[in-house]
Amino acid sequence: MHDDRSLVEARLRRVLDERIRPAVYPESVPLDVAVWHAPGEPVPVAEGLAAEPGPIRVGDRWGAPWGTSWFRVTGTVPEEWAGRTVEALLDLGFDENMPGFQCEGLVYRPDGTPVKGLNPRNQWVRIGAPVAGGEEVRLHVEAASNPVILDYHPFRPTALGDKDTAGHEPQYTLTRMDLAVLDETVWNLVIDLEVLGELMAELPADAPRRWEILRAVEAALDAIDLQDVNGTARSARSRLTGVLSVPAAPSAHRISAVGHAHIDSAWLWPLRETVRKVARTTANMTALAEDEPDFVFAMSQAQQWAWVKEHRPEVWARVKKAVADGRFVPAGGMWVESDTNMPGSEAMARQFVHGKRFFLDEFGIENDEAWLPDTFGFAAGLPQIIRAAGTTRLLTQKISWSQTNKFPHHTFWWEGIDGTRIFTHFPPVDTYNCSMKGSELAHASRNFKDKGRARHSLAPTGWGDGGGGTTREMVAKAARVRDLEGSPAVVWETPREFFEKAEADYPDPPVWVGELYLELHRATLTSQAQTKQGNRRSEHLLREAELWAATAAVRTGFPYPYEELDRIWKTVLLHQFHDILPGSSIAWVHREARATYRRIAAELDGIIDAAQRALAGEGTRSLVFNAAPHTRHGVLAGAAGEAERSAEVTVAERPEGGYVLANGPLRVEIDARGLVVSAYDTAAGRETVAPGTAANLLQLHPDFPNMWDAWDVDAFYRNAVTDLTSVDELTAGEDGRSVRIVRSFGKSAVSQVLSLRPGERRLSIDTEVDWHETEKFLKLAFPLDLHAERYASETQFGHFHRPTHTNTSWEAAKFEACNHRFVHLEEPGWGVAIVNDSTYGHDVTRAVRTDGDRGTTTTVRVSLLRAPRFPDPETDQGVHRFRHALVPGAAIADAVREGWRINLPERRMTGGQEVAPLVTVDNDAVVVTAVKLADDGSGDVVVRFHEAHGGRARATLTAGFEIAGVSVTDLLERPLDGQDPERDGCRIPVRLRPFELVTLRLAPL
């Protein structure tokens, strides 16, 4: 037989495109349309419905960027359509290739009842099935003219990312407003042919099944009269019944389809628009669940559920019913799908606390899975946080984007820094926007790394990013491949049902230890510096507010601000979403984030001040409040008292130019260029700075990645570098313990203050940059005379080691990595820490000196600023302030302590009495991360702590108040069975494994 595959396949494509799809709606009549453009921000539904619209016609332009237009569409169903299925086709000017990234709408009835959302892949509204004929149709569409930011020519700078700069030019053309007859037979024929055509293309050319499908398709095409598709569609479908009814092979891969719409809580749209995106999507998905009995939809991010409840109560009622019916599933148990690299320990814990508690309070549902399909890598401390929240599973997809190394598993145990393991799945479909295409399903089956040992995977199915969700076409395709030869077998299931099957299917999966590093989007550790600073500062202010408010509540009856702290925590958690904190959202998002962080800081400072004043009382004593978890200047952690005094600092001119700072423990030489050429640890007799190099060196790189400007830094950025060594000003500080350096470069300027404090083994570096560069990357380098094959960087509830070498492609790919408050390098017996108050990105490299002592230079470089132009063309322009410190001779304990200290500066005030700590721990290896009152308002004191040095620790936690009882709890402050600790009055002995996390609940007597 001649090979005519390409002939039949080309015929199928053309007939589908030009004859069959157009016949889905064989008859139509235009609707009358009028429009009212809201003058500013979106208005309440009642106001939009009541507004008097003006004229508009199909073909007219509409919609200024970020505007809202209320369309009123009216018409009458023709009498002759009686008994047929009729839909309104409402095309606002959609590009079908951009679901979630364009204009969108939510359709209402005149009484304000929501009907469904409109988006590029969902333009229909059911009027009747069947209609009686003569019905009056009146619908209202709340249409959002969101501009296209990520266009066909992506990553081009645009002013459309902020309403303040976007202008007023209409963005869209009204394309179609019709009533139309839906021919369901033709619609089903389209689905039949699409499923078979897509399946056929994925089968081997010599597979009998491929040829059987080809001949069936050919017969169906022969049965169609191209001049009467609607009259012959049923006959064509009958030719396909045989090939569509052949069951899947017993060995076929099993796919659990989960209805899904990964909605970025902010990205190429502001937070306020996400509120409406969620309403449109949930309206769609509840409607689809009513129509499709097998369909199950899962939605994560408790914040988004809360938005629906608060802003769209009419949609919320439908959501609650769908949840009760088991068709609409809360997923993930987090407040938002946050970044997991940068949020601090407590913040990461609170993501689960607030997320799980919302779903428990609203629905009585507790999630078993963390659901983070789009997050940019996963910190090594996350598994024990997940487990401590009562969750045991994790789903993500983004690791499939890694550029260099292919992750070796799809289902596995993920082990964190303390040994906790979480059952983890990466969907091999390699997308969280699966649309049930044959190519996607075949890829999932071929790509699945665990074949032969396991056979189940998950496919998040529906349009996401900007929302939209699952379509009826996806559901129809899934029905056809439920049990179809040549295809994986697909069934709609909840995340819980999938994981139960996967765990039973694969009881002993492989283990991956340590971070799940995404070999992409590394620059998100640096972009939008002020957003990152706002997050870090908010986390530490919340710690202070809880600590001092709880202490004041127990000691003085101070009213604990439960509601205020709950609200602020949720706001901070929202801004940890994986496109806000990473700096990859539009200008509008970050402008609002900066303002939000300022408001949060002012409110938290007020809470802290009020609590401290209640504790200190009236008086003239000079008190220092220490919120850090370690004693500082003689003041205990969580206490207030008078600080100890110690030796002075000297500043002397250096004969070769520059200055020498000394305070006893350290002697620091700053040369005439303002660079640190020596940092001598006098106790150890050890130089910190590598021979022939200089620290505190600012370095400037070109930074124009191949894609994803705000997200990526590509390895070739290192190929060119400018050392900023010219100095405009070098002076000794008037305080007698510092040196000030001023430099200028390009259009920017930087000033630094290098200082020592009495008796402290720490060189403080305060940097202010007036940044006006474009597509540049600014680093701060510290070349160290240190031989280390690995280094430690802080992560949640501990630290994680990475190699300093690049032996393998896995190590080489980590050329930009994340730390929290410190990076630490060590030779046996002596080490160096670099601590910070707000930066996350860094790199560590090593080189062997070819002359002199042939020793090793290990260079740590802190990432300060970038200047990408997409999606925010003004990223980071302006003034920035950073605080870092170089700590020579630091053990890991010193790195932990100094990291806390630089982030929690002392607070001073006058008062009448010292303040004793509410709780104390007698071992510095045990770090208390939270002291607060229990969220349930009982007055119990909750203390969370962990082992921070990486070894086993014994300690005694002592309550500074009488206690009636103590229990070990999970993160949600629920007692864990059989884990009540022993105690001796107010003293509670504890034993911790390396990095073990513990939460205690103390009931006051």
Which residues carry out catalysis?
A: 374
Alpha-carbon torsion angle 896, 902, 907, 908, nearest 10: 110
Give the whole-angstrom CA distance, residue 981 versus residue 422: 26
**Contact status, residue 1004 vs residue 940, Cβ threshold 8 Å:** yes
- 59 dihedral zone (left: phi>0; alpha: psi -120 to 50; beta): left
Measure CA 791 to chain center: 26
Question: What is the residue whose two structure tokens read 């709880």?
Answer: 550
**Contact status, residue 399 vs residue 341, Cβ threshold 8 Å:** no
Give the whole-angstrom CA distance, residue 505 versus residue 482: 19
The one-letter amino acid code at 630 reads H
Give the whole-angstrom CA distance, residue 608 versus residue 638: 13
β-pairing verdict for 393-395 and 421-425: parallel
**Three-class SS state of 791:** strand
189 CB neighbour count, 10 Å cutoff: 27
- Whether omega before 561 lies within 30 degrees of 0, making that bond cis, reads no
What is the SS3 string spanning 753-767?
A: EEECCCCCCCEEEEE
Handedness of CA 291, 297, 302, 307 (dihedral sign): negative
Give the whole-angstrom CA distance, residue 946 versus residue 785: 32
| Helix (H), strand (E) at residue 933 | strand 926-933
Tell me the CA distances in angstroms from 188 to 91, 191, 233, 234, 475, one per residue in order.
22, 5, 9, 9, 12
β-pairing verdict for 86-91 and 67-76: unpaired
Q: What number of CA atoms fall less than 13 Å from residue 204's CA on the CB side?
A: 4
The structure tokens listed for 738 are: 């510092």
Q: Whats the size of the chain, residue-wise?
A: 1005
Query: What are the CB-based long-range contacts (under 8 Å, 24+) for 117-121?
Result: 117/279, 117/280, 117/281, 117/283, 117/284, 117/467, 117/468, 118/90, 118/92, 118/143, 118/280, 119/94, 119/280, 119/463, 119/467, 119/468, 120/94, 120/95, 120/96, 120/468, 121/96, 121/463, 121/468, 121/471
β-pairing verdict for 511-513 and 411-415: parallel
Question: What is the residue whose two structure tokens read 């607030």?
Answer: 354
What is the SS3 string spanning 564-582?
A: HHHHHHHHHHHCCECCCCC
Spatial neighbors of 742 by CB under 8 A, at least 6 apart, are 727, 728, 729, 730, 749, 750, 751, 752
Give the whole-angstrom CA distance, residue 417 versus residue 425: 19
Percentages helix, strand, coil for the chain (3-state, rounded to 5) are: 30, 30, 40
Give the whole-angstrom CA distance, residue 503 versus residue 617: 58
β-pairing verdict for 963-969 and 919-921: unpaired
Give the whole-angstrom CA distance, residue 297 versus residue 330: 9
* Angle formed at CA 465 by CA 463 and CA 468, multiple of 5 degrees: 40
| Helix (H), strand (E) at residue 874 | none
What is the SS3 string spanning 695-734?
A: ECEEEEEECCCCCCCCCCCCHHHHHCCEEECCCCEEEECC
Q: What number of CA atoms fall less than 13 Å from residue 611's CA on the CB side?
A: 31
Q: What are phi and psi of 792, to 5 degrees?
A: -110, 140
Give the whole-angstrom CA distance, residue 163 versus residue 520: 30
The structure tokens listed for 932 are: 């607060």
